[in-house]
């Protein structure tokens, strides 16, 4: 073809190979920002005189440690029972409503711990609907003659936390049962193990790593919780950190307790890593899903009853309560207050800002990791990604205490510079505005976007990038024209998760919000703390409804692993599904 083409070489021909240095720098800075609060915690804690520590060690820590340990132990047992039990029930048996129950068991994930505590405090109040009904049925007429044990206790906290956190165990165990177990269970049956024996002798040992992963996630949430423990009067480590700083303005003391919490976090992460390692080992072979056994008659109805209890307690009852209370409130007042609307607007605005920043940072970290992987020295990129995902394990209260010092320093430094330049003091730029919250949310939820985008990038074969480069596109042009369009599902999914998590966030928000700035979560917290219960239900219902969105997403992707078929003929179907195991490779 004699065809002189308009694509003349316009760029300089010779250049040193590029190294992705800019991306790496960005990733390193982000990793540094994640480490900064932890370093500052250690610094603040050392700043204390020993008198502080002696006081803490004598009067605060023993009680708080004991409460936290008991709470973690209790929640751990309860979520293991509920999560593993329900996962086995829907995996091994077929009964009416099994299909719906399979995803309904995830619904409690939509209810934050402080909201279920808020709801049950009222539901189970001595003169609340449940106890009144019980007394009517039993023929008593006064709370003095009959009442249930007070919810405001350690067992009460275990109860409410366990019923909203068990889905972590359910999810990991269920996936394990449905992808792994079938042939092993059948082998055990042919070797003479009974139907119930296989659960104890094969299924449960097989699921142990998955249970460990789920339990450690549930316990990290327990450690993170501040609302439920405080409403129920359980003085945990988290509550101690909060009160030490807020009521006694003792940063050093708060940092010391926070460091104690970090030690527990490290233990939980190790448990999780251990579980994951064993899980990876177990899942090298792909197996058929289990064939559930059909239950009939009374057994079927017992399974239905048993299966729906966690859903009823963890989601239906509190959600129904919130809906009824909201309806009553709207009916009575005919609307919601301007302050609540302002709080809702704050929540959405700040969650949106945090989502945008978190996605951008996650993309930088994931892209730097990929660029480094292609080069000869992959370690730094991988290290940045690992460090950047640490924030998710750090309880919000601990993160906030760790951020106080850096924020104050930055505010002082920036303020000084600006004052020298403009002649008047700008006030507190970070702490005085919601910027501090956006940064805290970003550090805490970065793992979500980094993880999703790393997984998304790893499914895009390197040949696509090479093809683009050989067709004349630059590195960043390739990111824009090839990778970003292909990452759209991963970006959308992680945006949703981050947005909703930021909306629900309470512990860090309580500590870092500017004066007179409320989100739906802090609004609810304030009402519950005052015991006024006016518009709290409205705020809580809003959070729960938003929280349902990621649960739907989770039910669509994670639970259906391995059961999904490609939809033939769908346009660009390859680019639409956030499916974990899909590859853009042609066979």
Partner 1 sequence: MTAPNAATAHLELDHIRLGYDTPHGLHTVVDDLSLALERGGIGSLLGASGCGKTTVLRAIAGFEPVRAGSIRLDGAVLSSPEVQVLPEQRRIGMMFQDYALFPHLSVAANVAFGLRRLDKAARARRVAEMLELVGLRDAADDYPHELSGGMQQRVALARALAPAPDVLLLDEPFSNLDVDTRERLAFEVRDILKSTGHTAILVTHNQAEAFAIADHIGVMAGGRIAQWDTPYNLHHHPADDFVRDFIRREALVEQREGVFARGR
Window 547 to 586, contacts with partner 1 (CB under 8 A): 569, 571-575, 584-586
Q: Is 356 exposed, middle or buried (0-12, 13-18, 19+ CB in 10 A)?
A: middle
Q: Kindly state whether residue 486 participates in binding partner 1, applying the rule CB under 8 A.
A: yes
Choosing from 5, 58, 141, 423, the residue that interacts with partner 1 (CB under 8 A) is 5
Write the DSSP string, 211-280.
HHHHHHHHHHHHHH--HHHHHTT---HHHHHHHHHHTT--HHHHHHHHHHHHHHHHHHHHHHHHHHHHHH
54's CB contacts (< 8 A; 6+ apart) are: none
CA dihedral 393, 397, 403, 405 (to 10 degrees): -140
CA distance 15 to 399: 44
CA distance 225 to 296: 41
- Report the nearest approach of partner 1 to the CB of residue 374 (Å): 8
Q: Which is nearer to partner 1, 201 or 382 (CB)?
A: 382
List the one residue out of 152, 196, 198, 227 whose CA is nearest residue 522: 227
Of 253-261, 391-399, 482-490, 550-558, the window that binds partner 1 (rule: CB under 8 A) is: 482-490
Q: Which is nearer to partner 1, 17 or 334 (CB)?
A: 17
Q: Which is nearer to partner 1, 507 or 578 (CB)?
A: 578
- The site for partner 1, by CB under 8 A, has a size of 43
Q: Is 307 helix (H, G, I), strand (E, B) or coil?
A: helix
To which H or E segment does residue 505 belong?
A: none
- Report the nearest approach of partner 1 to the CB of residue 492 (Å): 14
Q: Which is nearer to partner 1, 335 or 568 (CB)?
A: 568
Q: Kindly state whether residue 376 participates in binding partner 1, applying the rule CB under 8 A.
A: yes
- Report the nearest approach of partner 1 to the CB of residue 557 (Å): 19
CA distance 104 to 186: 28
In sequence order, the β-bridge partners of residue 294 are 94
- Report the nearest approach of partner 1 to the CB of residue 382 (Å): 16
List the one residue out of 449, 504, 442 whose CA is nearest residue 221: 504
Q: Show the site string, 406-445: x = touches partner 1 by CB under 8 A, - = not.
A: ----------------------------------------
- Report the nearest approach of partner 1 to the CB of residue 483 (Å): 10
Q: Kindly state whether residue 13 participates in binding partner 1, applying the rule CB under 8 A.
A: yes
**In the block, which residue shows the tokens 């139907």?**
195
- Report the nearest approach of partner 1 to the CB of residue 578 (Å): 14
Q: Kindly state whether residue 129 participates in binding partner 1, applying the rule CB under 8 A.
A: no
- Report the nearest approach of partner 1 to the CB of residue 564 (Å): 16
State the maximum Cα–Cα separation within the chain, in Å, rounded to a whole number.
Answer: 101
Q: Which is nearer to partner 1, 12 or 297 (CB)?
A: 12
Q: Is 296 helix (H, G, I), strand (E, B) or coil?
A: coil
In this structure, is the dihedral angle defined by the CA atoms of residues 225, 231, 233 and 239, taken in order, positive or negative?
positive
**397: Cα separation from own chain's centroid:** 15
At 584, list the tokens: 């853009």
Contact 260, 237 (CB under 8 A): yes
Q: Which is nearer to partner 1, 94 or 577 (CB)?
A: 577
In sequence order, the β-bridge partners of residue 293 are 93
Q: Which is nearer to partner 1, 268 or 371 (CB)?
A: 371
Q: First vs last Cα of the chain: how many Å apart?
A: 33
> What are the angstrom distances between the C-alpha of 251 and each of 50, 54, 213, 305?
14, 15, 33, 50
Q: Show the site string, 140-169: x = touches partner 1 by CB under 8 A, - = not.
A: ------------------------------
Of 111-119, 163-171, 333-341, 469-477, the window that binds partner 1 (rule: CB under 8 A) is: 469-477
- Report the nearest approach of partner 1 to the CB of residue 314 (Å): 40
At 7, list the tokens: 């694509």
At 213, list the tokens: 């992963």
Q: Which is nearer to partner 1, 531 or 587 (CB)?
A: 587
At 299, list the tokens: 């057994």
Choosing from 464, 549, 553, 554, the residue that interacts with partner 1 (CB under 8 A) is 464
Q: Which is nearer to partner 1, 466 or 532 (CB)?
A: 466
Of 8-16, 117-125, 510-518, 549-557, the window that binds partner 1 (rule: CB under 8 A) is: 8-16
Of 21-29, 218-226, 386-394, 471-479, the window that binds partner 1 (rule: CB under 8 A) is: 471-479
Residues of this chain that bind partner 1 (CB under 8 A): 1-3, 5-7, 9, 11-18, 376-377, 461, 463-464, 466-474, 481-482, 485-486, 569, 571-575, 584-587
């Amino acid at each position: 073809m004699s065809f002189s083409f308009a694509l003349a070489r316009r760029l300089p021909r010779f250049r040193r190979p590029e190294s992705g240095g800019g991306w790496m720098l960005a990733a390193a800075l982000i990793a540094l920002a994640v480490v900064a609060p932890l370093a500052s915690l250690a610094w603040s804690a050392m700043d204390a005189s020993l008198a502080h520590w002696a006081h803490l060690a004598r009067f605060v820590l023993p009680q708080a440690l004991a409460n936290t340990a008991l709470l973690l132990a209790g929640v751990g047992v309860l979520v293991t029972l509920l999560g593993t039990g329900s996962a086995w029930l829907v995996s091994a048996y077929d009964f009416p409503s099994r299909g719906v129950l399979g995803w309904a068991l995830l619904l409690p994930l939509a209810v934050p711990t402080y909201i279920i505590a808020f709801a049950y405090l009222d539901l189970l109040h001595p003169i609340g609907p449940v106890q009144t009904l019980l007394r009517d049925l039993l023929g008593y007429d006064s709370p003095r003659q009959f009442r249930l044990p007070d919810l405001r206790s350690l067992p009460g906290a275990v109860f409410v936390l366990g019923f909203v956190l068990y889905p972590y165990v359910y999810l990991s165990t269920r996936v394990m049962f449905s992808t792994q177990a079938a042939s092993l269970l059948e082998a055990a049956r042919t070797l003479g193990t009974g139907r119930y024996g296989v659960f104890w002798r094969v299924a449960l040992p097989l699921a142990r790593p998955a249970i460990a992963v789920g339990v450690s996630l549930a316990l990290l949430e327990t450690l993170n919780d501040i609302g439920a423990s405080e409403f129920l009067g359980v003085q945990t480590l988290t509550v101690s950190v909060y009160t030490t700083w807020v009521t006694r303005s003792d940063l050093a003391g708060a940092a010391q307790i926070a460091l104690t919490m970090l030690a527990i976090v490290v233990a939980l992460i190790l448990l999780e890593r251990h579980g994951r390692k064993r899980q990876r080992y177990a899942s090298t072979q792909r197996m058929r899903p289990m064939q559930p056994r059909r239950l009939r008659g009374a057994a079927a109805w017992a399974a239905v009853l048993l299966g729906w209890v966690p859903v009823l307690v963890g989601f239906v009852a509190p959600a129904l309560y919130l809906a009824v209370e909201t309806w009553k409130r709207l009916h009575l007042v005919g609307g919601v207050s301007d302050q609540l609307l302002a709080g809702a607007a704050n929540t959405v605005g700040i969650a949106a800002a945090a989502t945008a920043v978190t996605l951008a940072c996650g993309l930088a970290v994931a892209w730097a990791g990929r660029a480094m992987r292609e080069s000869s020295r992959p370690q730094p990129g991988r290290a940045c990604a690992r460090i950047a995902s640490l924030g998710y394990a750090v309880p919000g209260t601990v993160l906030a205490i760790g951020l106080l010092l850096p924020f104050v320093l930055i505010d002082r430094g920036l303020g000084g510079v600006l004052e020298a330049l403009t002649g008047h003091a700008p006030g507190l730029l970070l702490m005085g505005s919601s910027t501090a919250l956006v940064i805290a949310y970003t550090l805490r939820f970065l793992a979500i976007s980094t993880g999703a985008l790393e997984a998304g990038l790893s499914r895009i074969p390197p040949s696509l990038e090479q093809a683009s480069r050989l067709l004349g596109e630059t590195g960043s042009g390739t990111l824009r024209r090839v990778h970003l369009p292909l990452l759209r599902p991963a970006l959308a999914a992680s945006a949703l998760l981050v947005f909703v998590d930021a909306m629900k966030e309470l512990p860090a928000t309580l500590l870092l919000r500017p004066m007179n700035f409320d989100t739906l979560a802090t609004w609810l917290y304030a009402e519950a703390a005052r015991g006024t219960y006016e518009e709290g239900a409205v705020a809580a219902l809003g959070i729960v409804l938003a929280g349902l969105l990621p649960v739907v997403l989770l039910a669509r992707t994670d639970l259906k692993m391995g059961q999904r078929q490609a939809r033939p003929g769908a346009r660009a179907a390859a680019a639409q599904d956030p499916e974990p195991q899909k590859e853009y490779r042609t066979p």
